[in-house]
């Protein structure tokens, strides 16, 4: 039986990555340097389960490993998931799974959905009803690997954007004890200039704020190429994979239910 619960938490910017990581079930520290848009039809389901594929097509690799071309097998069949509170809907590959660990949180409402690929690796977490705050105590070199506005999620005249971005460089590795790249939805303004504050992937959503994204983690996000490559180099390569394109399509499909 599904249970709903609150996901409220005060989150200073310095701990944004730790919060996101906890939601995705990943370790609290950064991954080790040596760690290794389509138009398909969809069908609709509601929490807590996802339907079987609606369109026959190539089966994704069972272990999520790269194909011979250096990219994961594209997802052909897609399905639609509606959160347990009935407020939000998003599309995802039918081979992926959605779980709702909301029972682990204090009561109070909101949505909590964790998305894993067919190999069981966590790829993103959706949480709503969050209280957030940020203070920019340090700035680092940054790179925006991908970005797209999401007008369906506009609130109070503010349109959030999907973004895959990184912090740090070879000379300045970025914030201590955090990975240097993440994808998700942000309402705040895009960084300008040569440096940026720590990544803060939260967007305005009633009654407070929400998040939908994750760290880039080579242990979860299948990346072709030399596994001993620097972390940020692997993040750039990942932005060209089929798995990343599926993740982007999933996150950018988020919209109000109904």
- Residue 39 is assigned to a structural domain of this protein: yes
Work out the pLDDT band at 150, boundaries 50, 70, 90.
very high
Concatenated DSSP letters for 110-151?
--EEEEE-TTS-EEEEEEEEE---------EEEEEEEEEE-G
Domain that holds residue 91: 13-256
- Residue 23 confidence (pLDDT): 36
| Nearest residue to 194 via CA among 148, 141, 247 | 141
- Residue 109 is assigned to a structural domain of this protein: yes
Pick the more confident residue, 60 or 123: 123
Hey, is 65 helix, strand or coil?
coil
Number of domains present in the structure of the chain: 1
Q: How far apart are CA 105 and CA 42, in angstroms?
A: 31
Pick the more confident residue, 35 or 184: 184
Pick the more confident residue, 102 or 9: 102
Q: Which of 92-101, 144-153, 216-225 has the lowest mean pLDDT?
A: 92-101
Work out the pLDDT band at 9, boundaries 50, 70, 90.
very low
Work out the pLDDT band at 16, boundaries 50, 70, 90.
very low
Is omega for the bond preceding 125 within 30 degrees of 0, making it cis? no
Residue-level length of the chain? 258
- Residue 172 confidence (pLDDT): 81
| Nearest residue to 35 via CA among 247, 245, 223, 242 | 223
Residue 107 has pLDDT above 90, yes or no: no
Mean pLDDT of all residues in 125-140: 86
Q: 233, 211 in Cβ contact below 8 A?
A: no
Euclidean distance between the first and the last CA atom of the chain, given in angstroms as a whole number: 23
- Residue 102 confidence (pLDDT): 57
Most confident among 20-24, 103-107, 153-157, 166-170 (mean pLDDT) = 153-157
Q: How far apart are CA 66 and CA 223, in angstroms?
A: 7
Which two three-digit tokens encode residue 104? 């682990």
- Residue 20 is assigned to a structural domain of this protein: yes
Pick the more confident residue, 147 or 60: 147
- Residue 233 is assigned to a structural domain of this protein: yes
Q: What is the pLDDT of residues 183-195, one digit of tens each?
A: 999 998 888 889 9
Most confident among 58-62, 122-126, 189-193 (mean pLDDT) = 122-126
- Residue 176 is assigned to a structural domain of this protein: yes
Mean pLDDT of all residues in 30-56: 39
Q: What is each CA distance from 81 to 40, 44, 88, 97, 168, in whole angstroms?
A: 15, 6, 8, 10, 35
- Residue 73 confidence (pLDDT): 53
Residue that has been written with the tokens 């909301």 in this structure: 102
Q: Is the pTM of this model over 0.85?
A: no
- Residue 162 is assigned to a structural domain of this protein: yes
Element (H, E) at 231: helix 231-238
Residue 253 has pLDDT above 80, yes or no: yes
Work out the pLDDT band at 103, boundaries 50, 70, 90.
low
Element (H, E) at 246: helix 242-252
Work out the pLDDT band at 138, boundaries 50, 70, 90.
confident
Share of the chain above pLDDT 70, in %: 66
Tally: H helices and E strands in the chain = 3, 12
Q: 76, 61 in Cβ contact below 8 A?
A: no
Pick the more confident residue, 4 or 178: 178
Strands (E), the chain: 78-82, 88-93, 97-99, 112-116, 122-130, 140-149, 161-167, 181-186, 195-196, 203-205, 208-215, 255-256
């Amino acid at each position: 039986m599904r249970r709903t619960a609150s996901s409220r938490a005060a989150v200073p910017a310095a701990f944004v990555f730790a919060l996101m990581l906890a939601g995705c079930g990943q370790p609290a520290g950064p991954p080790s340097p040596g760690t290794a848009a389509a138009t398909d039809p969809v069908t609709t389901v509601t929490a807590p389960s996802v339907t079987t594929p609606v369109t026959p097509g190539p089966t994704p690799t069972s272990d999520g490993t790269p194909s011979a071309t250096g990219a994961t097998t594209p997802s052909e069949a897609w399905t639609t998931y509606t959160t347990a509170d009935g407020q939000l809907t998003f599309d995802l590959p039918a081979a992926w799974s959605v779980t709702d660990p909301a029972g682990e949180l204090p009561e109070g409402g909101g949505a909590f959905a964790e998305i894993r690929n067919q190999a069981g690796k966590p790829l993103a977490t959706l949480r709503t009803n969050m209280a957030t705050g940020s203070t920019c105590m340090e700035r680092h070199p940054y790179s925006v690997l991908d970005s797209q506005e999401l007008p369906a999620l506009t609130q109070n005249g503010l349109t959030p954007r999907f973004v895959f971005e990184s912090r740090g460089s070879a000379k300045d590795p970025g914030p201590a004890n955090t990975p240097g790249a993440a994808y998700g939805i942000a309402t705040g303004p895009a960084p300008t200039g040569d440096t940026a504050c720590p990544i803060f992937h939260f967007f305005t959503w009633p009654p407070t704020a929400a998040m939908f994204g994750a760290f880039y983690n080579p242990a979860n996000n299948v990346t072709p190429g030399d596994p001993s490559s620097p972390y940020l180099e692997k993040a750039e390569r990942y932005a060209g994979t089929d798995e990343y394109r599926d993740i982007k399509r999933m996150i950018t499909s988020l919209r109000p239910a109904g």
